Amino acid sequence: MIRFNILLIGETSCGKSQFLQRYINDSYIKCTPTVGIDCTCHDVYINNTDIRLLFWDATGNIERFGNIIEDYYKRADGIIIFKNATKSSKSLVFNNWIQLALDKKTPNTQLILVSTKQDLILRQIDNFSIHPIHKLPHIITSAKTGNNIQYSIEQLINLMLDKTHEINIQLQSKNSETIALLPKQKNNSTKCFDCCVIL
Ligand SMILES: Nc1nc2c(ncn2[C@@H]2O[C@H](COP(=O)(O)OP(=O)(O)OP(=O)(O)O)[C@@H](O)[C@H]2O)c(=O)[nH]1
Ligand SMILES: [Mg+2]
C-alpha cells in the first residue's frame, strides 16, 4: 500500500474542513474553526493501487498556530492551497499562501489550488484552469453541492503517483549504474567483489 500525506492550507473560513468532510463522509454539516491541525485517514483504490491518504487539515489562523504547521510542509507529499471562489486568484492573501507553500515544501511535493464555495458564484466560470502566475492546476469546487471535490483529490493523487513513479525510475537507474560501475573498480584492485553494492 502507498501512503500519501496531504496538507490542507489557506485563509481561515475559506472552507478547507468542509471540503474534507464532503470528500470523506459525503456530508455537509457546518464545521467549527480548526484549532491547530486535524488528522484524518482515508483509504482509496485508484489506478489498480491501494492508497492510504493522511490528511492534515490546518487552521488558517497562522498568526496563532503558524509554528505548529511548519513541520508539516516538509512531510507532505501533496499540498492543497485553498481560497474562497468569490475572491480573485490574484488576491495578495492567496498568493502569500502559495508562496509560503513553495518556500517550505520539498522538491517532490505536489501542489494544487482549490477554490471553494462555487455555489456562491452566479456567473459561469471554468472549473479547471492553470494559475496565471504560479502555473499550478486550479480547480473550482463546492462542498455544498459536492461539485469537483472527488475530482480535485484524484488530480492530486495522480500527480503524487506520477512523482513516485519518477522517483522510483531515478532510483532504479542509479542502482543499475552502481552495479555497472563496480566491476570496473576491480581491475586495479586486488580485492574481489562477490556481490553488488546498492548505494
Ligand atoms: N456556500 C458555501 N459555504 C461553504 C462552503 N464550504 C464551506 N462553507 C462555509 O464556510 C465557513 C467556513 O468553513 P470551514 O470549512 O470551517 O473553513 P476552514 O477553512 O476550515 O476554516 P479554519 O478551520 O478556521 O481555517 C462555514 O460556515 C461553512 O459552512 C461551500 O462550498 N459553500
Ligand atoms: Mg477548518
pLDDT in tens, 56-80: 999 999 888 878 888 899 999 999 9
Among the listed ranges 45-49, 101-105, 114-118, which one has the minimum average pLDDT value? 45-49
d(CA 165, CA 159): 10
Q: What is the mean pLDDT of residues 98-127?
A: 93
Label the pairing between strands 37-46 and 49-58: antiparallel
Cα–Cα distance, 182 to 193 (Å, whole number): 8
Q: Is 21 in the pocket of ligand 1 (CB under 6 A)?
A: no
For the chain, domains (ranges, CATH) are 2-178 (3.40.50.300)
| Cell numbers for 126 | 471554468
| Strand blocks (E) in the chain | 2-10, 37-46, 49-58, 78-84, 110-116, 128-130, 137-140
Span from the CA of 103 to the centroid of ligand 1 (angstroms): 26
Q: If you measure from the C-alpha of residue 143 to the centroid of ligand 1, how many angstroms do you get, rounded to a whole number?
A: 8
pLDDT over threshold 70, residue 192:
no
Cα(179) to centroid(ligand 2), Å: 50
Most confident region among 50-64, 123-137, 184-198 by mean pLDDT: 50-64
Say yes or no: CB of residue 121 within 6 Å of ligand 1: no
CA-closest candidate to residue 21, choices 44, 2, 35, 38 = 38
**Confidence (pLDDT) at 65:** 80
Which residue's C-alpha cell is 496563532?
64
pLDDT at position 182: 59
12 lines ligand 1 (CB under 6 A): yes
Decide which of 191 and 168 is more confident: 168
Sequence-distant (≥ 6) Cβ neighbours of residue 184 within 8 angstroms: none
pLDDT over 60 (residue 193): no
Find, among 167, 159, 107, 166, the residue nearest to 137 by Cα. Answer: 159
CB 8 within 8 A of CB 82: yes
Which of 22, 31, 61 has most ligand 1 atoms within 8 Å of CB, for mutation?
31
Check: CB of residue 60 under 8 Å from CB of residue 81: no
The reported pLDDT for the residue numbered 178 is 64
